[in-house]
Amino acid sequence: MDPVTFTPGTPGAVAGSAGQPNSQVVKIVQITPGTGGSYCGNCIRDNALVAEWRRLGHDALLVPLYLPVKLDEPMAGDRTPIFFSGINVYLEQRGALLRAMPPWLHRFFAHPWLLRLVGRLAAKTRPEEVGDLTLSMLHGEHGNQARELDELVAWLKTQPKPDYVVLSNLLLMGLARRLRQGVGAPVVCLLAGEDTFLDALPATQRSVEAAFGNHPRRGPVHRPQPVLCRSHGGAVAHGARAHPGGSAGHQPCRL
Domain ranges within the chain, ordered by starting residue: 22-222
Per-residue pLDDT of 3-15, as tens digits, reads 333 333 333 333 3
DSSP codes joined into one string, 45-102: HHHHHHHHHHHTT-EEEEEEESSPPP-SSPPPS---PPBS-HHHHHHHHH-HHHHT--
For 39, 53, 66, 219, the CA distances from 43, given in Å and listed in that order, are: 8, 15, 12, 34
Please tell me the predicted confidence (pLDDT) of residue 43: 85
Please tell me the predicted confidence (pLDDT) of residue 251: 42
Report which DSSP code applies to 219.
Answer: B
Opening angle at CA 63, ends 170 and 4, nearest 5: 35
Residues of the chain with pLDDT under 50: 1-19, 221-255
Per-residue pLDDT of 44-100, as tens digits, reads 889 899 999 999 999 999 999 998 887 777 777 778 999 999 999 999 999 999 999
